Amino acid sequence: MIKTSIARKVAMALSGLFLILFLAQHFTINVTSVFSDEIFNMLSHFMGNNPLVQFVLQPILIFGVIFHFVMGFVLDFKNRKSRNVKYVNFRGSTNASWVSRNMIFSGIVVLSFLGLHFYDFWVPEMNYKYIEFLPQNPDRYFSELVHKFHSPVRVIIYCLSFIFLGLHLFHGFSSSFQSVGLNNKYTRGIRWLTVSFSIVIPTGFIFIAVFHHLNG
């Protein structure tokens, strides 16, 4: 059990940094769909049929997602309880930014989006391979991706979700470095990295969704 506040924050930070690495890798693969359907199909087929990815890294990723959000709810509950008991005169607006004070809400939006994303891609993939046992088709991934973005409603939901993801990353990324003790002489570089990542990656995902909607 993770009992101390510091231990919970460090665990939260490490799980967040792990998910950020996955997010960067996921974006790198997805952005190839804009330039080459062949490369996207090749990379997707490799990731989808590599035993190490499927039976080792994927369970770790799922655990990481669940752990990160459960720990987020625990920390938010502890923080709110602490404020109510110890700090009668606490004013969140004067002590923290809007983004940091609402991390739990941006996190809930991101979690809801992950549910939709799993429904759109992961569930059909599991059904294709392990329920219907359909033969491998290394050329199917690009068309499946484009098909998901035919609906303007789904594209709007994805775009709004990526905006909230950007807000969540904006504070969470830098806080993760601070929690593991790297926010000192590297502060300026870390700040540049976190701001850039929280803008480039969500904007890139929005571009991918809109691109396939307009060109699909």
Where in the chain are the domains? 5-215
Quick: pLDDT tens for 157-186.
999 999 999 999 998 888 888 777 766 666
**Distance between CA atoms of 216 and 212, rounded to whole angstroms?**
5
- Mean pLDDT, all residues of the chain: 89
Structure confidence at residue 5 (pLDDT): 79
Contacts 24+ apart (CB under 8 A), 45-50: 45/136, 45/138, 45/141, 48/125, 48/129, 48/141, 49/136
Structure confidence at residue 189 (pLDDT): 81
- CATH node for 5-215: 1.20.1300
Structure confidence at residue 87 (pLDDT): 46
Q: What is the mean pLDDT of residues 185-202?
A: 86
65 has pLDDT over 70: yes
**Distance between CA atoms of 188 and 147, rounded to whole angstroms?**
42
**Distance between CA atoms of 211 and 216, rounded to whole angstroms?**
8
More confident: 214 or 100: 214
